[in-house]
Structure 1
Amino acid sequence: MNRVQRWATARRTAGRSGWRGTDALFRGAIGGLGLVGVGVVAHRIDLVLIGAPLLLGTIAALAVPTGPVPAPKLERLPAAVESGDRTKAAITVAAGPGVEYLAIRLPSPDHTAIGPVHLLPGSATTIRAALRWNAWGEGVDLRPDHLAASRDALLINGPVVGAESRRTVLPPITPLAPGPLPPRASGLVGAHRARRPGDGVELRAVRPFQPGDRLRRIDWRVTLRAGAATGEPLAVPHVRERHAEVDADLVLVLDSLVDVGADLGEWSTAAAGVAVRPGGSLDRAVRSAASLAAGYLRQGDRVGLVDLGRPQLSVPPGVGHRQLVRVRHQLVACTRTAGWATRPVLLPKQIPRGAVVVFLSPFLDDATVTAATATARRHLVIAVDTLPAPLLADPSTPWGEVVRLVVAGEHRARRNALRANGVAVVDSADAVASALRRVRS
C-alpha cells in the first residue's frame, strides 16, 4: 500500500470515529495547493516555495492515524462520602499516537464554579483532580468534558460531555449531649432506668431471698449482719435488687413541605444551582436530625425518621451504626422530593408506643401545628423551630416590612399554640436535651 492509499484509509477511519476537520486543515490544504498552483501557472518560484511546505506539512500531519476516540475514565470513588471530605480523583486517558493535544475541563475543588480547561499533551495517561465536598446532598461532583486534537490541530474530536460521577454527601453531624428519654421495654437491655426490677446497675432495694432469685445477687455482707442477731449467719440470705435498664425510642419528624431562607423575597423562587437552600429551614432541619440521631444512637437508644411529605420514605426505629447511616442516607432522599406534597401526613402506626417525637419544622403551616398537637395527645413531643431568624423584608416592594410583620406574628401564634397544647418548643437541636430534662424533672 503506497502513501496515498494509507492517507486515504486513515482519513476514512477518522471520519467514522467522529473526527472532523478544522479551519487549519482547510487553510493548509486549500492555501498550500492554491499557492503552488498559482506559482506554477504564473512562474512564481516564491509562491511555490511558500505553498509547498504548507501543503506537504498538512499531508504529513494527516498521514498519522488518529486512532480511536480518547475517552477519559474516572477512578472508582465511594458512593457516599462525608461532608468536608477531600480527595484526588484519578482520570485515565488512552489516546492514539495521532493525538497531539487533550483539553479536559474539570470542576473547581470546591464546586463553586466551572473549573478551568487543562491543555495536556496527547501522551498524558493519568490526570488527578482535587475534590472537596463542602455541601451535603446528592449530585454530580465530577464530569470530565474533553476535546482531542490531532497533529497540528488539523482534526478535532469533541467537545464531548464526559460521564457524570454522582455522589451522595451525607449530612454533617454536630456533637450533641443527649437528654434522658422515657424508657420503653422491648426485650433488649438499654441505657435508661425502668421502674421494674431487673439486671441493671443502679441499686433499687435489698430484700430477703425469694424463690427464683439468682445466687449471684446475694449480698453476703447484709446476709451475715442479719444472721448475727439470730445466731445463724446464713439463715436468711438477702439479695440486691436493681432497676432494669431498657431502651427508649426517639422519632424524628422532618418537615420537607417547605424550604425557606431568611429573605422573604426569595421564598417564591427556587435556589439556583442547589437542591436545598444553604442555611434554610430544610438545611437546618436535616443537620439537626442527623446530629440528634447520632447522639441518641450512640447511647443505645432506638431512633427512627418520618417524612411529613412522603410517608413512604420513613425509617422505622432501630439501633446501631447501620441505623445512623440509613437515617443519614434517607435524609438526603427526603430532600429530593421536598416541596412536592401539599399537606403533612403523619400516621399513628409510624410512631411506636411510648416514643419521644421531635418535630423539625419552620411551622409556617397550620396543618403542621395540628399534626404536632395531635401527636402530643399520645406522646411526648418536642418542636425544633428551624425557621431562620431574623426574617428579612423584601426590599423590592413597599409592602415588604408589612409582610414580614404578618409572617412573624403568625409564626409566634403557632409557637404559642404548640406550647398551649403541651409541646415544648426550642430553637435548636442543642436545646432538646435540656427540654427533656425539664419534662422528666
Structure 2
Amino acid sequence: MSRADRIREAFTGGRGPGWRATDAYARAVLLGVGLVVLGALLHKVELVLFGAPFLVSALFALGTEVAGEPSVSVRPLPRTAEPGEATTGVEVDPAVGTELLAVRLPVPGTPGELGPIHLLPATSAPIVVKLRREAWGDGVDLRADHLFAGPDALLVHGPVVGVERGRVVLPPVDALPAGLLPARAAGLVGVHRTRRPGDSTELRDIRAFQPGDRLRRIDWRVSLRSPTLHVREHHAEADADVVLALDTRLDLGRAVADWSTGHPGGTSRPGGSLDTAVRAAASLAAGYLHQGDRVALADLGRPQLGVRPGVGRRQLLRLRNQLVVCARSAGWSPRPVLNAHQVPHGALVVVLSPFLDDHVVQVTVQAARRGSLVLAVDVLPADLRPDPESPWGGGALRIIRLEQRTRLAAMKQHGIAVVPWDGHGAGVAAALRRANRPGRPVVR
C-alpha cells in the first residue's frame, strides 16, 4: 500500500471515498466533549448527563464499520411503450453498516417532475415503482436521486443524482369507422371497390352473354326469362395508397396569447393542433393498415422525416415512432413541401393542418391538381380564446377565423373535401364516401 493510500485510509477510517461525516457528527463531538469537560470542571452532573449521549453516539458511529460503495440502480424500461401504467424496480445495493436510504421517487401521473423523498431502511429488497404517462412523446419517467446514511445518520454517502430514465410513449390509436377509399387498380388484394369489372362479392351489372365469359357467371334466373343468356358482372377489389401529410410547422393551443411561446416539458401542447394532428394520423394509419392498404407519412415542414408506403403491423409501429420524431423536430419553416415523388399515383392524400397560411393551401391544391383525391383535415382547436391582456384580442381572433374560413372555401372550390377532426373520424369517413360516389361533388 502506498503512503498516499495509508494517509487516506487513516483519514477516512477505512471507509469508502464517498462516505463523509455530517455536521451533526461534528456537533455531537463538540457538544459531547464540551459538556462532559465543563461538567467535570464545574462539578455539574447535569452537564455531564446532557453531554454523554452526544459523545456516546459519536463514539458509536466512529466504532461502527461502514465500508464499501452503496449504489442504487433502476431496472431498464422499454424504449417505446403504449400510454398507460408501467411498473419498474429500483435495486438497492447497500454497503456494510448502512442503515437508512433516502431516495426521491416520482408520483404516478407526473412524468418529468421530481417527487417526494422517501426515507426507507437500507435493505437489498427492490423498490417497486409505478409509472403512469398518458401524454405521448419523449419524457423522463424516473430519476432516482439517493443518499445512504450510517448509524444515527452521522455518516452519509451522497447525495447522488440518479440517471434519468425515459421512454417514448407512442401516440394512441383510436378506433375509427372504415371509409371508402378512392379506386386504384393496383392488384386484387385489397378491400376497396373499383369501377372496373372483376371478381368480388359486390354486383356491378347484369349484361348479355359475350364470347369469353365464364359459364359460372351466368345468371340463370334472368336468362330463363329472356331469349339470350345473361351473366352477372362484379366489381373488382383493389388496395389503396394513403399519404398522411402532417403540418408540423405550427403548434397552436386554445389560447391565442400562447401561440408565440413554446410548450416547456413536452413534445407538443396538450389539446393543441399538433397533438390533434398526430393523434388523428396515428388513428387513420391504424385503420387503413388494418384493411391491408399501404400508408405513408409526409412531414410538410421537414420532408426528410417522411416514411415510405408500407403495410402491416411493423409499418404502423414505424409510423407511430416517426410521428414522435416529427413532433420532436417541429418548428416553423417558411414553405411546406409535398413533392410529387412522395405521393403515389392515385393515392389518397390526407393533409392535417390548421391552415393558417397560404403556402399550405397552395401545397394542398397542387396535390389535387396532380390527380390525387385530397382530403383537408382542419386540426385548429375549435374553442380558441382571445388574448385577455390585449384590447385587440377579440378583433384579432375574428380576423384569424375569417382568414381561415376563406382558405378553406378556396380549397373547396378546387374540389378538395374539408372536414374538421372530431376525434372519431366520422367526418373523414363521410367525406370519403361522398368522394367515391360517381357524379357526386366532393365538397361538403
Do Structure 1 and Structure 2 share a fold, with TM-score over 0.5?
yes
Q: 1:419 aligns with which of 402, 407, 412?
A: 412
Which position in structure 2 is the counterpart of 1:14?
15
Change (3 A) 1:25 1:158: same
Amino acid at match of 2:289: L
The equivalences for 1:364-375 within 5 A come to: 364-375=356-367
Which position in structure 2 is the counterpart of 1:349?
341
Which position in structure 2 is the counterpart of 1:394?
387
CA distance in 1, matches of 2:266, 2:217: 67
Instruction: Give the conservation status (yes or no) of the 8 Å contact 2:61–2:155.
Output: no
Amino acid at match of 2:376: A
Q: 2:377 aligns with which of 384, 387, 410?
A: 384
Amino acid at match of 2:430: S
Amino acid at match of 2:337: V
Change (3 A) 1:225 1:86: closer
Q: 2:396 aligns with which of 393, 397, 403?
A: 403
Change (3 A) 1:286 1:60: same
Change (3 A) 1:403 1:44: same
CA distance in 2, matches of 1:209, 1:219: 14
Change (3 A) 1:218 1:13: farther
Matched, 1:438 2:430: no
Change (3 A) 1:43 1:188: farther
Q: Which runs of 5+ in 2 are unaligned?
A: 1-5, 438-444
Amino acid at match of 2:306: S
Which position in structure 1 is the counterpart of 2:316?
324
CA distance in 2, matches of 1:265, 1:399: 11
The equivalences for 1:21-100 within 5 A come to: 21-40=21-40, 47-83=47-83, 85-100=84-99
Shift of 1:322: 1.3
Partner of 1:287: helix, strand, or coil? helix
TM-score, structure 1 length as denominator? 0.87
Instruction: Give the conservation status (yes or no) of the 8 Å contact 1:178–1:295.
Output: yes
CA distance in 2, matches of 1:22, 1:219: 94
Change (3 A) 1:434 1:220: closer
TM-score, structure 2 length as denominator? 0.87
Change (3 A) 1:426 1:120: same
Shift of 1:19: 2.2
Amino acid at match of 2:246: L
Amino acid at match of 2:216: D
CA distance in 1, matches of 2:239, 2:14: 70
Change (3 A) 1:39 1:323: same
Shift of 1:277: 0.5
Shift of 1:306: 0.6
Which position in structure 1 is the counterpart of 2:255?
263
CA distance in 2, matches of 1:11, 1:191: 76
Shift of 1:186: 3.3
Partner of 1:384: helix, strand, or coil? strand
CA distance in 2, matches of 1:245, 1:222: 21
Cα shift readout 1:279-336 (whole Å, capped 9, x = no counterpart): 0000110111111111111111111111111111111111111111111111111110
Partner of 1:111: helix, strand, or coil? coil
Change (3 A) 1:296 1:398: same
The equivalences for 1:236-315 within 5 A come to: 242-315=234-307
The equivalences for 1:31-180 within 5 A come to: 31-40=31-40, 47-83=47-83, 85-111=84-110, 113-123=113-123, 125-180=125-180
Amino acid at match of 2:403: E
Root mean square deviation, CA, Å:
2.9
Amino acid at match of 1:398: P
Amino acid at match of 2:420: D
Shift of 1:237: 11
Q: Which runs of 5+ in 1 are unaligned?
A: 231-235
Amino acid at match of 1:280: G
Shift of 1:245: 1.8
Shift of 1:187: 4.1
Which position in structure 2 is the counterpart of 1:233?
none
Partner of 2:362: helix, strand, or coil? helix
Amino acid at match of 1:138: D
Count of residues in correspondence between the two structures? 423
Partner of 1:99: helix, strand, or coil? coil
Instruction: Give the conservation status (yes or no) of the 8 Å contact 2:219–2:232.
Output: no
Amino acid at match of 2:344: P
Partner of 2:15: helix, strand, or coil? helix
Q: Which stretch of structure 1 is more off in the superposition, 135-144 or 55-64?
A: 55-64
Partner of 1:322: helix, strand, or coil? helix
Identity, % of aligned positions:
50
CA distance in 1, matches of 2:146, 2:30: 29
Q: Which stretch of structure 1 is more off in the superposition, 60-69 or 130-139?
A: 60-69
Amino acid at match of 1:79: R
